Amino acid sequence: MTQPQPSLPRQPSAAEPAAAYWPLVLAAAAVLAITVGVRLSLGLYVSPINTATGIGIAGISFAMAVSQIVWGVSQPLFGAVADRYGPAGSLLGGAAVLAAGLALTPFAGSELALTMCIGVMVAAGAGAGSHSILLGAAAQRIPPHKRAFASGFINAGGSFGQFVFAPLSQFLIGTWGWVTALFGLAAITLLTIPLSWPLCRQPQGPAAAAASVGIGEQLRIALADRSYWCLHAGFFTCGFHIAFLVTHLPGAVDLCGLPASVSALSLALIGLANIVGSLATGALCQRYRMKWILAIMYASRAVLVGLYLVAPKTELTFYAFAVGLGLTWLATVPPTAGLVGKLFGVRYLGTLFGLTLLSHQIGAFFGAWLGGLALVSFGNYDWMWYADIALAVVAALVNVPIREAPLHVAAAGTR
């Protein structure tokens, strides 16, 4: 007679976390749209702040440069807090700091005060509600087989924010002035508090289980892993590339004798194209190994820059260049975050992916800074374009040896 099988503890089914899938993903995408959109639209305030305060372009630029580094440093720090105590403190506290920094900026009458407001408060507040915290919080609360697409969708929210907030800021500045515009942005950022609520509940299912190692041990394991450093190298190049273009594309357009509207439309096209690129990359990550997706994206950048260099410098060239680059602009985020999750699990994804974002921002610092030095030294950006091609090729190659399990093996686990 067959012995009855002992009853096993009930495992949370994929349907339980899937029930809240879209509220989680939409909430994270909306928060990222606001924090990224506000942060990337601050360049429009440089001239009005300079005219009103007399701080000077150099002083304002320094505050903006500090914000790049602070935003990068804040990612692993707030990610660690979110991993340890949950994302509520990072998201809600970050929203308050971001709003306060924006609201206090009109009262900054010195370079130091402006650096504290924009360079520290705004950057840190935006970082507390950015990629590492949002992707980590979502990954712990949704089924493993949906994480790749969710990352792409959330990342597309940031691109949508880039597309929306630049013209919104320009409209507010032109209609009511830069001071009122900053107060308006501060009010909008407070919307991230109610939007964050679905992400603040405790995760359920396998991801909620206690980690077998602490955060210190997990960091030691990750930092000893060659694949993890390969991801850092690729993301460094991504930051270098993006910051160089965001900072110096208007200068490149001007050197070609084209109107400033060409650079504005090119940047808008980059944001629109990246929405498509992020969604497509998220879907592709569910079917193909992510290291190959990253390698192809980085290689495509080298090809696109090479084509740009030999093409006639017309408006159509810049628009086509912008669309091509936009397809991979920040579409590197879903596979990079996905690989970190596959290699080390999602328990400390906020911390580990946050560290890769720090490498991204270090690259961004050099991309923006060296671009200016190249223009002053040579009168053009040729050597920066060559460096961009070389780094993109290296980034494509370093992704090849990444230790990524075959797709069907990874999908079977609960990591």
**CA–CA gap between residue 323 and residue 364 (Å, rounded):** 21
C-beta of residue 18 within 8 angstroms of C-beta of residue 143: yes
C-beta of residue 205 within 8 angstroms of C-beta of residue 18: no
Question: 415 pLDDT band (50/70/90 cuts)?
Answer: very low
pLDDT in tens, 107-124: 998 999 999 999 999 999
Domains and CATH numbers, the chain: 19-412 (1.20.1250.20)
Return the axis-axis angle of helices 131-139 and 57-85, rounded to nearest 10°: 20
Could you tell me which of 103, 339, 112 has the C-alpha nearest to residue 232?
339
Mean pLDDT, all residues of the chain? 85
pLDDT in tens, 381-414: 899 999 999 999 999 999 999 988 755 433 333 3
Question: 1 pLDDT band (50/70/90 cuts)?
Answer: very low
C-beta of residue 37 within 8 angstroms of C-beta of residue 191: no
Q: What is the mean pLDDT of residues 5-17?
A: 39
The count of other CB atoms within 10 Å of the CB of residue 253 is 21
Quote the pLDDT of residue 204: 56
pLDDT in tens, 15-74: 334 556 788 899 999 999 999 989 888 877 888 888 898 888 778 878 888 888 899 899
Q: Rounded to 5 degrees, what angle do the CA atoms 98, 101, 107 make?
A: 160
Residue 245 has pLDDT above 90, yes or no: no
The least confident of 142-146, 208-212, 348-352, 358-362 is 208-212
